[in-house]
Structure 1
Amino acid sequence: MRIIINAVLLILSITSCAQDSTQINMKTLSDISNLYQEITHYPIEPHYGIYVSSSNTNFEVRINDIPVFLEYEFITNDISPKGSYFPINLAISKSGIQKIEVRMYPSYNRETQQLETSLNNAQVIIDVVKREYNTSKKEYGDEEVLLNLSSPIEKNKVSKKTKFIYPELKEYIFDANFEALVPYDIKILEKAQNLITTDPEEIKKITEELLIAYNEIWQIYDQNKVSQYADLIYNKEKRAAQQLFFSESDSKKRVEQLLTSGRIVKEGYKMMSFKNFKLRFYANGKIVTLVYDEIGQVGRNKSVLRSKGDSRKSYYSLFYKPINSDEFILY
C-alpha cells in the first residue's frame, strides 16, 4: 500500500511540476505590450494598403489569397468615393510579386430580402498604395499609388454614366499583380500543410477537427480566461507586430484594443453558438477557417466565432496546421 501511495504522490508531483512549467512559459498581456522589443526595425519600413470604392455588389479582396476586406449583405446605388484605407502588410510575407484578387457577387436587397439576380450595375475600384516610414527621421514619405484595379466598365456616350460590362453574371473575379519590397521574411505558411480539398468526406473531417479548436477558444472567450487568451494569441500578435513594424506606442495601444474593461467579450455581450457555417480555405489551402454562412444576416462569410449584444462582433479565427502536426494554430 505504501508503495502505491508513494507512486501516486510521485505522479501528482510530476503533474504539478508540468503544470507549473506550463504556467511559467505562458505568455501574458505584458508580453504582448512589449512585442516592440522582440521585433526587428529597419531604416525604411514600407507600409502597403488599399483604398476601396464600390457599388451594388457583395465582394471581397484577397492579397496572396488571404482576405484583407470582406463586405457582404449590403446594397448601394452610386459608386462611393475613395473609400477607407485598409493595411495589407499582414498578407505580405516576403518581398516579390504579390497577387491581389477581387471576387464580386450580387448584392443583398433589403426590400426584397433576397440577393439580386445578377451583378447589374456592380462596380469595384481598388487602389494599392505604399508609404515608407523613415525610422531615423521618424516620419512618413508621400503615399505612392502602385496599382489601380477596377472591374470592367463602359461609359454611355450620352449620359456619361458607367456600367459593368457583364451585368448578367452572378460572379466575377478579377486580379492583378504588384511588387512589394519588405525587409522581413515570414516563413510560417511555408511550413504549413496544404489542406485544400473538394472531397466532401475530407471537408467534413477537417471541419470536425477545426471545431475542437473553436470550442476551446469559445470557452476562453466565454469564461473570460484572460491569461489563456494572451497565450493563445501571442504568436499571431508577434507576427503582426513585425509585419506592421510596431513601435512602443503601437504595442501598448494594441493591448488596450484586446480587452474592453478587462474583458475579452464586452460586458453585456454573449458568445454565440456555432451554426449555419461552412469551411473556407485561404492562402491556397494553407489557412482554414469556419465562417458564418446565412444570406441576409450580418457577418456572412466572417468568423463564426461571434458574440451578440447591442450588435454582433466577429473574432479573428484563421488557422494553419504545421507540417507533421495535428494541431490547428492561429495564424
Structure 2
Amino acid sequence: MKKIISCILITVSIASCAQHQTKENMRSIEDISTLYKEIKHYPIEPHYGIYLSSSNTNFEVRVNDIPVFLGYEFITNDISPKGSYFPINLAISKSGIQTIEVRMYPSYNRETQQLEPSLKNAQVIVDVVKREYNSVKKEYSDEEVLLNLAAPIEKNEVSKKTKFIYPDRTEYLFDGTFEAVVPYDITTLDNAQNLLVTDSEEIKELTEQLLTRYKEMWEIYDQNSISKYADLIYEKEKRTAQQLFFTESDSKKRKGKLLTSGKIVKEGYKMMPFEDYKLRFYANGKIVTLVYDKIGQVGRNKSVLRSSGESRKSYYSFFYKPIGSDQFVLF
C-alpha cells in the first residue's frame, strides 16, 4: 500500500513539475515590453521606408515579396493615401539588393457597388527613402531618396493633364530595386519550407490545414488569453524589435498597441466568424495567410482573423513552416 501511495505521489509530483515548467517557459506580455533589452543596438541604425501617393486604384506594395502596404478599399476619384509614410525594415532581412513591386487593380465604384472595369486613369507613385539614427549622438540624419517608382503616364500637350498609358488594363505591375545596408541578419525564412502550390486540391488541403491554426488563434483572441497570446507572438515581436531597433520607449508603446485596456480584443468588439476567405502566398511561397475576400467591403485582402464593433479590426496572421516541421509558426 505504501509503495502504491509513493508511486502516486511521485507521478503527481512529476506532472506538477512538468506543468510548472511549461508555465515558466511561457512568455508574458511583460516580456514583450522589455524586448529592448534583448536586442542589439548599433552606432548607426538605418530606417527604410516608403512614401505613397495614389488615385483611382486599389493596390499593394511588396518589398522582397512581403506586403508593406495593402489598399483595397479605395473608391473611384479618391486620392489616397497622399504622401503617407510606411516603414519597411520588417521586410528587409539582411544587407544587399532589395526588390520592390507595386500591383495595381481597379478601384471600387460606390454607385455601381462593383469594381471598375479597368484601371482607367489610375496612378501610384512610390518613393523609397532612408534615414539613419546615430545612437551615439542620439540624432537622425537627413532623409535620402533611394528610388522613385511611378506607374507610366503620358501628358496631353493641349490640356497639360496626365493619364495612365494603359487605361484598358485590369491589372498592372511595376517594380524596381534598391540597396539596403542593415547591421542585423534575420534568417527565419532561410529555414522555412516553400509552401507554394497551384493545384486546386493542394490549395484546398493547405487552406484547411491553415484554418485549423486560425481557429486556435481565434480562441486565444476570443477568450482574451493574454499569456497564450504573448507566447504566440513573442518571437515575431522580438524580430520586430530588432529590425526597428526598439528603445525602452518603443517597447512600452508596443505593449500599448498590442493590448487595449489590458485586452487583446477591444471592449465592445467581438471576434468574427471565418467566411469569404482565400489563401495567399508571400515571400516567394514561404509565407501563407488567409485573407478576407469580399469585393467592396472594408478589410479585403487583409487577415481573415477579425473583430467587429464600431468598425472592423484585422489582426496580423502571417505563417511559415520551419524545415522539417508540420507546424505553422507565426512569422
Classify the TM-score, shorter chain.
over 0.9
Alignment of 1:17-28 (within 5 A): 17-28=17-28
Maintained 8 Å contact 2:277/2:293: yes
Maintained 8 Å contact 1:192/1:321: yes
Maintained 8 Å contact 2:76/2:108: no
Q: Which secondary structure does the structure 2 equivalent of 1:205 belong to?
A: helix
Residue number in structure 2 paired with 1:58 = 58
TM-score, normalization by structure 1: 0.97
Q: State the AA in 2 paired with 1:273.
A: P
Residue number in structure 2 paired with 1:229 = 229
Residue number in structure 2 paired with 1:139 = 139
Segments of 4+ moved more than 4 angstroms? 1-12, 78-82
Q: What CA deviation, in whole Å up to 9, does each residue of 1:61-117 have, x standing for no partner?
A: 000000000001322426558421000000000000000000000111011100000
Maintained 8 Å contact 1:65/1:283: yes
Residue number in structure 2 paired with 1:306 = 306
Q: Which secondary structure does the structure 2 equivalent of 1:207 belong to?
A: helix
Q: Which secondary structure does the structure 1 equivalent of 2:241 belong to?
A: helix
Question: What is the CA–CA distance in structure 1 between the aligned matches of 2:80 and 2:213, rounded to whole Å?
Answer: 39
Over 3 Å counting, the alpha-carbon distance change for 1:44 and 1:229 in structure 2 is same
Q: What CA deviation, in whole Å up to 9, does each residue of 1:255-307 have, x standing for no partner?
A: 11111111100000000010110000000001000000000111000000000
Give the gaps of 5 or more residues in structure 2: none
Question: What is the CA–CA distance in structure 2 between the aligned matches of 1:3 and 1:280, rounded to whole Å?
Answer: 58
Alignment of 1:110-125 (within 5 A): 110-125=110-125
Question: What is the CA–CA distance in structure 1 between the aligned matches of 2:231 and 2:52, rounded to whole Å?
Answer: 34
Residue number in structure 2 paired with 1:268 = 268
Q: What CA deviation, in whole Å up to 9, does each residue of 1:193-221 have, x standing for no partner?
A: 00001011211121111111111111110
| CA RMSD in angstroms, aligned pairs only | 1.5
Is 1:215 paired with 2:244?
Answer: no
Residue number in structure 2 paired with 1:164 = 164
Q: State the AA in 2 paired with 1:129.
A: V
Deviates more, 1:62-71 or 1:79-88: 79-88
Question: What is the CA–CA distance in structure 2 between the aligned matches of 1:87 and 1:166, rounded to whole Å?
Answer: 30
Q: State the AA in 2 paired with 1:52.
A: L
Q: Which secondary structure does the structure 1 equivalent of 2:93 belong to?
A: coil
Is 1:153 paired with 2:160?
Answer: no
Question: What is the CA–CA distance in structure 1 between the aligned matches of 2:2 and 2:307, rounded to whole Å?
Answer: 52
Shift of 1:7: 5.8
Question: What is the CA–CA distance in structure 2 between the aligned matches of 1:274 and 1:233, rounded to whole Å?
Answer: 21
Over 3 Å counting, the alpha-carbon distance change for 1:166 and 1:46 in structure 2 is same
Over 3 Å counting, the alpha-carbon distance change for 1:20 and 1:55 in structure 2 is same
Q: State the AA in 1 paired with 2:88.
A: I
Question: What is the CA–CA distance in structure 2 between the aligned matches of 1:11 and 1:207, rounded to whole Å?
Answer: 40
Shift of 1:8: 6.0
Over 3 Å counting, the alpha-carbon distance change for 1:169 and 1:4 in structure 2 is farther
Maintained 8 Å contact 2:58/2:72: yes
Shift of 1:250: 0.4
Alignment of 1:41-190 (within 5 A): 41-77=41-77, 79=79, 82-190=82-190
Q: State the AA in 2 paired with 1:126.
A: V
Maintained 8 Å contact 2:28/2:230: yes
Question: What is the CA–CA distance in structure 1 between the aligned matches of 2:163 and 2:259, rounded to whole Å?
Answer: 44
Over 3 Å counting, the alpha-carbon distance change for 1:27 and 1:161 in structure 2 is same
Q: Which secondary structure does the structure 2 equivalent of 1:49 belong to?
A: strand
Question: What is the CA–CA distance in structure 1 between the aligned matches of 2:227 and 2:93, rounded to whole Å?
Answer: 29
Q: State the AA in 2 paired with 1:30.
A: E
Maintained 8 Å contact 2:75/2:109: yes
Q: Which secondary structure does the structure 1 equivalent of 2:290 belong to?
A: strand
Query: Percent identity, aligned pairs only?
Result: 77
Q: Which secondary structure does the structure 2 equivalent of 1:221 belong to?
A: helix
Residue number in structure 1 paired with 2:319 = 319
Question: What is the CA–CA distance in structure 2 between the aligned matches of 1:76 and 1:168, rounded to whole Å?
Answer: 15
Question: What is the CA–CA distance in structure 2 between the aligned matches of 1:302 and 1:70, rounded to whole Å?
Answer: 7
Maintained 8 Å contact 1:74/1:110: no
Question: What is the CA–CA distance in structure 2 between the aligned matches of 1:7 and 1:104, rounded to whole Å?
Answer: 68
Aligned length: 331
Over 3 Å counting, the alpha-carbon distance change for 1:16 and 1:46 in structure 2 is same
Over 3 Å counting, the alpha-carbon distance change for 1:137 and 1:9 in structure 2 is same
Q: State the AA in 2 paired with 1:156.
A: N
Residue number in structure 1 paired with 2:329 = 329
